[in-house]
């Protein structure tokens, strides 16, 4: 998401403190894993309640530190607590355990079958690298931390240097809430510093990692995770250009609405959203120049807003210069970067046009790399085949958006666009129709990820499906009931949903949690 470089002033957690925190996490892991679904869910709710009760003071600190508006930050705290409660609901229901039982069958078609009972168990301590652009929702108590805790994994959180005071305040609240809910010491801890994060990632007690940030930074950490003596899963959400394709029918139907929606989306949060639409593909036609002029006009109307850190602003300026120096580009709107009296970098939107898909592809190494900030490309295409060829060769994206006509009676040319839809599904984790990709709903069905470089795995980092990243299946074969984990015991004392011989088990309401 971010092209920021970590500042030299970022404090480093001392090696002896890292060792102490890792030892505590390793000791806490089996205890946290044995928490019943109800008890673990209660702990997640306790964290959500504590963050809600301290929302005003957290927002005040974050507004001072990041320059984000208090209203935006309040909404982000709410999003953070909502997703904690969603994970709590799924944990309490026991769905995450994915209990599946096949009873012994001496007459099975392939020969006598043993009794097999499978469930999911937590991986163990994980390290989470916080994001720059969401100081709450993708940070200390954000989606990675929430999903790992929900799975039963202790978390060592590596704070982002862009909002250290906010992170420290949030971490203290999380730690106190978990402790008050009976969680063992070591279930959650925070470290700071680039080297501290690498040290934790390399440690043999860490079983998985989650990251939200730049392709360069994420890939470096991914390589470390893969090169350990015992490699571990690295769930990275990296970079994406999130292309938007506008069809002829859509442009004829609502050109002004599309122009307004595009500008609002790519400038949202000063362009510091991972789902920012970085490329708008428009069909070349008689009115195309007027549409581009309209987009440029609307971009000029957006006032300058601060970026998160001076380093991020500098990285944005560097990327914008690379883009505008590429052959075939035309800088339509140059958003100035200025420093106000308080020393905050204020940035206005920029807009760059590319005359053809062919020119876009010729400079793909520059133009098809994420630009973290309020800049976007408008690219003209002549045929649908051009767009299809571009998508077929495109790197993975978090989202691909397609705008078609919305008139009654269905989508004109629906069959023509079927290939476009198929390609979008191949290249992105979320396909959006007649809308904009910014705004990732926190729901059970959500998927936030995509083929590399959008992500390093096929898993989602948003929505309740994120819990599966930190679990692994274990099967018990012909095991006496007294040795089985509670979720697998014949009497189902945890009252969790189970599948037996391929059919859902009818769970008795009189069963009690053990």
| Distance between start and end Cα atoms, the chain | 43
Q: Helix/strand/coil (H, E, C) string of 290-333? A: HHHHHHHHHHHCCCCEECCCHHHHHHHHHHHHHHHHCCCEEEEE
Alpha carbon distance 27, 184 (integer Å): 9
| Contact in structure between 188 and 178 (CB atoms under 8 Å) | yes
| Contact in structure between 240 and 275 (CB atoms under 8 Å) | yes
Beta pairing, strands 345-347 & 305-306: antiparallel
Please give the backbone phi and psi of residue 59, each rounded to the nearest 5 degrees, phi first.
Answer: -65, -40
Closest CA to 143 of 190, 191, 85, 58: 85
**Cα 72-218-51 angle, rounded to 5 deg:** 35
DSSP designation for 496: -
Structure tokens at 462: 């948003």
CA dihedral of residues 92, 98, 104, 106 (deg, nearest 10): 150
Catalytic residues, which ones? 237, 274
Residues 6+ apart with CB under 8 A from 356: 328, 379, 380, 381, 382
| Contact in structure between 23 and 166 (CB atoms under 8 Å) | no
Residues in the chain: 514
Alpha carbon distance 451, 319 (integer Å): 23
Alpha carbon distance 63, 84 (integer Å): 22
């Amino acid at each position: 998401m971010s092209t920021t470089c970590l500042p030299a002033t970022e404090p480093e957690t001392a090696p002896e403190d890292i060792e102490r925190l890792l030892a505590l996490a390793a000791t806490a892991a089996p205890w946290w894993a044995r928490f019943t679904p109800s008890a673990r869910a209660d702990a997640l709710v306790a964290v959500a309640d504590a963050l809600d009760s301290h929302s005003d003071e957290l927002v005040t600190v974050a507004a001072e530190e990041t320059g984000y508006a208090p209203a935006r930050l309040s909404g982000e705290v709410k999003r953070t607590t909502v997703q904690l409660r969603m994970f709590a609901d799924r944990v309490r229901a026991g769905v995450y355990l994915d209990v599946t039982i096949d009873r012994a069958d001496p007459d099975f078609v392939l020969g006598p079958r043993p009794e097999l009972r499978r469930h999911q168990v937590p991986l163990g301590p994980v390290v989470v690298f916080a994001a720059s652009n969401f100081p709450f929702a993708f940070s200390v108590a954000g989606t990675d931390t929430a999903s790992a805790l929900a799975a039963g994994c202790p978390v060592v959180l590596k704070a982002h240097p862009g909002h250290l005071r906010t992170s420290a305040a949030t971490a203290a609240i999380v730690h106190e809430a978990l402790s008050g809910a009976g969680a063992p010491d070591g279930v959650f801890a925070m470290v700071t510093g680039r080297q501290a994060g690498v040290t934790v990632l390399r440690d043999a007690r860490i079983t998985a990692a989650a990251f939200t940030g730049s392709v360069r930074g994420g890939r470096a950490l991914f390589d470390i995770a893969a090169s350990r003596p015992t490699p571990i899963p690295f769930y990275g959400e990296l970079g994406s250009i999130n292309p938007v394709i506008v069809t002829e029918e859509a442009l004829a139907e609502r050109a002004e609405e599309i122009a307004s929606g595009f500008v609002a989306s790519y400038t949202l949060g000063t362009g510091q959203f991972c789902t920012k639409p970085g490329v708008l593909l428009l069909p070349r036609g008689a009115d195309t120049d007027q549409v581009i002029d309209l987009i440029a006009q609307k971009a000029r109307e957006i006032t300058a807003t601060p970026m998160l850190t001076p380093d991020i602003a500098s990285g944005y300026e560097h990327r914008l210069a690379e883009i505008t120096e590429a052959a075939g580009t035309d800088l339509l709107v140059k958003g100035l970067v200025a420093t106000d009296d308080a020393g905050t970098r204020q940035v206005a939107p920029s807009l760059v046009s590319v005359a053809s898909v062919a020119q876009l592809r010729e400079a793909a190494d520059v133009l098809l790399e994420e630009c973290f900030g309020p800049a976007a490309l408008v690219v003209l295409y002549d045929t649908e085949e051009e767009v299809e060829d571009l998508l077929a060769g495109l790197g993975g994206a978090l989202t691909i958006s397609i705008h078609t006509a919305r008139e009654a009676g269905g989508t004109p040319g629906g069959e023509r666009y079927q290939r476009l839809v198929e390609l979008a599904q191949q290249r992105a984790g979320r396909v959006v129709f007649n809308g904009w990709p910014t705004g990732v709903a926190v729901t059970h069905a959500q998927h936030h990820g995509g083929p590399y470089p959008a992500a390093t795995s096929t898993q989602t980092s948003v929505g309740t499906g994120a819990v599966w990243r930190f679990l692994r299946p274990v099967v018990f074969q012909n095991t006496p009931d007294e040795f089985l984990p509670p979720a697998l015991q014949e009497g189902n004392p945890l009252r969790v949903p189970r599948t037996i011989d391929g059919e859902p088990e009818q769970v008795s309401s009189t069963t009690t949690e053990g």
